[in-house]
């Protein structure tokens, strides 16, 4: 299992963020646009039309990450387990692969196994694989370049070796920026920045040496948000920086391998359908009993205490798309500040192919998300620092040091979160490095569990009713 999670890492993530540390561009270069967004409502932008069914087919079957492992080496290496879930619509070789891989043939005729978006954007709940649900049990603490080199021992000479080398070289270049020191957090933003650092903004050509100073080697933690929120959101990412055409952000996973704008344009056409598919997804229904009377009471609490930022639900649903400033929300500011204080990568995006019809516009704040299916999306806050909704609504219940239980995974229907263990000490006091990686330490930079204290003003009865109502969304 350790090998598998490391390999999922190196195959590339759904890396859709655009922010990082900055350096002034040279005087004769186009620096790109850079605007800091103001708190408040985010304007809605018309999105390109697409076919949801075709988008699902692309996600499950097409090679939109165009480099990867030669299929013969994939079979021979015995690194990867057999598929645990079969997905409707997987065709040909895809139906034989684990769900986070797709099959394709490159221009040299080499059959490849490449990563897809479901590495991060699918997760098991109650025995079923839920497409669009972020996976909080992925392990990104290993060095992916080690596994890439291991697979190389099974690659044949000639065109397969060239295909493997392209992929392995990309992995080696970005590996230092995609290794986390905590189990369960996601490095997707940092991975994207590392890829951007190696690409020419105008041509998308890859450079073996960075063209921009790379991002920090210690990724800030993020939690993968559920896809089904996108049918309501005007902008992508926790800080609302993904303005304009959402397709241009959703397709950025292809940065691992896409070396020219012609290929990027072709993928953009596919991803108009992918965007439509993502926007068409609905959250799963809560699978356990609900106290209807308590939930009805909680609906009133929600209307008074939560709807102003998170919107209303039901027949008259309304979502305000509000960007909340850091002082008001109070949650860990590192992710938002990094994007604003370090603008170079946003400028790259805005002057690149990806910025055509889109604009990276970070802010010193976070978007209050829609809460459809929120019960399934633990842990909470943008960095995954709060393990349950019950703890989110009562800050006195938030542990300073904790770790998810993984064997077995168990969902707590009372607190709405995965079961976890509270620890007495953090990473520095751990018995060894392996144990340290399992600990979520909220005292570390970017890992804080502060803020979003709005539930503290509620009574215990009101909080219990609110938890019950959230099960119905």
Is 227 in a helix, a strand, or coil? helix
* pLDDT over threshold 50, residue 223: yes
Q: Among residues 59, 91, 95, 96, which one has the least CA distance to residue 75?
A: 96
The tokens describing 223, both together, are 């939690």
The tokens describing 229, both together, are 């929120």
For 227: left if phi > 0, alpha if psi spans -120 to 50, otherwise beta; the answer is: alpha
Is 210 in a helix, a strand, or coil? coil
* pLDDT over threshold 80, residue 113: yes
Neighbouring-strand partners of residue 417? 412
The mean pLDDT of 46-69, rounded to a whole number, is 97
Residues recorded for the chain: 473
The tokens describing 144, both together, are 């992916």
pLDDT of amino acid 2 = 32
Q: How far apart are CA 348 and CA 327, in angstroms?
A: 29
119 contacts 12 by C-beta, under 8 angstroms: yes
The mean pLDDT of 331-344, rounded to a whole number, is 93
The tokens describing 465, both together, are 């009713």
Mean predicted lDDT score pLDDT of the chain: 92
Q: φ and ψ at 360, to 5 degrees?
A: -80, 115
What burial class does residue 409 get, using C-beta atoms within 10 Å of its C-beta: 0-12 exposed, 13-18 middle, 19+ buried?
middle
pLDDT band at residue 3 under the 50/70/90 scheme: very low
Q: How far apart are CA 117 and CA 230, in angstroms?
A: 15
Q: φ and ψ at 454, to 5 degrees?
A: -65, -30
Which of the residue ranges 24-28, 33-37, 219-223, 240-244 would you say has the lowest mean pLDDT? 24-28
Q: How far apart are CA 207 and CA 433, in angstroms?
A: 34
Q: How many alpha carbons lie under 13 Å from residue 292 in its C-beta half-sphere?
A: 0
Q: Which residues does 461 contact at the CB level (< 8 Å), separation at least 6?
A: none
Which of the residue ranges 11-20, 149-158, 220-229 would you say has the lowest mean pLDDT? 11-20
State the Cα torsion 218-425-6-15 to the nearest 10°: -40
Q: Provide the strand spans (E) within 176-236.
A: none
Q: φ and ψ at 119, to 5 degrees?
A: -50, -45
Q: How far apart are CA 20 and CA 237, in angstroms?
A: 14
* pLDDT over threshold 90, residue 112: yes
* pLDDT over threshold 70, residue 17: no
The tokens describing 19, both together, are 């922010």
The tokens describing 275, both together, are 């965007």
Cβ neighbours around 124 below 10 Å, total? 14
For 221: left if phi > 0, alpha if psi spans -120 to 50, otherwise beta; the answer is: beta
424 contacts 139 by C-beta, under 8 angstroms: no
The mean pLDDT of 445-469, rounded to a whole number, is 98
Cβ neighbours around 472 below 10 Å, total? 16
Q: Which residues does 87 contact at the CB level (< 8 Å), separation at least 6?
A: 60, 99, 129, 131
pLDDT of amino acid 255 = 93
pLDDT of amino acid 29 = 54
What burial class does residue 85 get, using C-beta atoms within 10 Å of its C-beta: 0-12 exposed, 13-18 middle, 19+ buried?
middle
Query: Which 8-state DSSP code applies to residue 47?
Result: P
pLDDT band at residue 8 under the 50/70/90 scheme: very low
pLDDT of amino acid 149 = 92
Q: Among residues 256, 302, 300, 250, which one has the least CA distance to residue 277?
A: 250
Q: 120-152: per-residue pLDDT in tens?
A: 999 999 999 999 999 999 999 999 999 899 999
387 contacts 403 by C-beta, under 8 angstroms: no
The mean pLDDT of 254-276, rounded to a whole number, is 96
Query: Which 8-state DSSP code applies to residue 455?
Result: G
The mean pLDDT of 73-84, rounded to a whole number, is 87
Domain positions in the chain: 2-280
Q: Among residues 45, 101, 37, which one has the least CA distance to residue 361?
A: 37
């Amino acid at each position: 299992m350790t090998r598998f999670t490391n390999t999922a890492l190196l195959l590339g993530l759904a890396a859709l963020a655009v922010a990082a540390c900055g350096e002034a561009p040279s005087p004769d270069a186009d620096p790109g646009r850079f605007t800091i967004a103001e708190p408040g409502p985010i304007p809605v932008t018309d999105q390109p039309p697409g076919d949801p069914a075709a988008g699902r087919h692309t996600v499950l079957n097409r090679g939109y990450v165009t480099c990867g492992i030669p299929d013969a080496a994939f079979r021979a290496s015995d690194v990867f387990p057999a598929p645990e879930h079969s997905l409707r619509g997987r065709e040909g070789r895809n139906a034989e692969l684990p769900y986070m891989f797709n099959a394709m043939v490159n221009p040299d005729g080499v059959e490849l196994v490449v990563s897809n978006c479901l590495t991060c954007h699918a997760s098991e709940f109650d025995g079923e694989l839920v497409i669009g649900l972020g996976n909080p049990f992925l392990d990104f603490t290993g060095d992916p370049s080690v596994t890439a080199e291991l697979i190389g021992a099974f690659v044949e000479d000639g065109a397969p070796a060239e295909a493997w080398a392209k992929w392995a070289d990309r992995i080696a270049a970005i590996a230092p920026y995609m290794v986390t020191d905590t189990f369960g957090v996601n490095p997707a933003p940092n991975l994207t920045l590392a890829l951007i650092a190696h690409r020419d903004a105008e041509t998308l050509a890859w450079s073996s040496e960075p063209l921009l100073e790379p991002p920090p080697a210690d990724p800030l933690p993020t939690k993968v948000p559920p896809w089904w929120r996108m049918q309501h959101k005007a902008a992508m990412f926790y800080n609302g920086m993904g303005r304009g055409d959402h397709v241009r952000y959703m397709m950025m996973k292809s940065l691992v391998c896409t070396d020219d704008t012609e290929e990027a344009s072709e993928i953009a056409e596919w991803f108009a359908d992918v965007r439509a598919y993502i926007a068409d997804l609905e959250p799963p229904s809560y699978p356990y009993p609900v106290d209807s009377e308590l939930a009805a009471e909680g609906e009133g609490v929600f209307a008074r205490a939560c709807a102003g930022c998170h919107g209303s639900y039901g027949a008259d649903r309304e979502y305000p798309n509000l960007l909340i400033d850091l002082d008001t929300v109070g949650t860990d500011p590192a992710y938002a500040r990094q994007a604003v204080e370090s603008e170079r990568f946003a400028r790259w995006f805005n002057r690149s192919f990806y910025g055509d019809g889109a604009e990276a516009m970070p802010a010193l704040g976070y978007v209050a998300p829609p809460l459809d299916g929120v019960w399934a999306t633990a842990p909470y806050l943008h960095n995954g620092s709060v393990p349950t909704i019950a703890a989110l609504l009562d800050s006195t219940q938030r542990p300073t040091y904790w770790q998810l239980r993984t064997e077995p995974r168990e969902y707590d229907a009372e607190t709405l979160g995965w079961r976890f263990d509270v620890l007495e000490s953090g990473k520095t006091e751990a018995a060894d490095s392996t144990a340290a990686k399992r600990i979520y330490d909220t005292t570390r930079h970017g890992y804080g569990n502060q803020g979003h204290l709005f539930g503290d003003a509620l009574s215990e009865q009101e909080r219990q009713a609110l938890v019950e109502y959230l099960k119905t969304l």
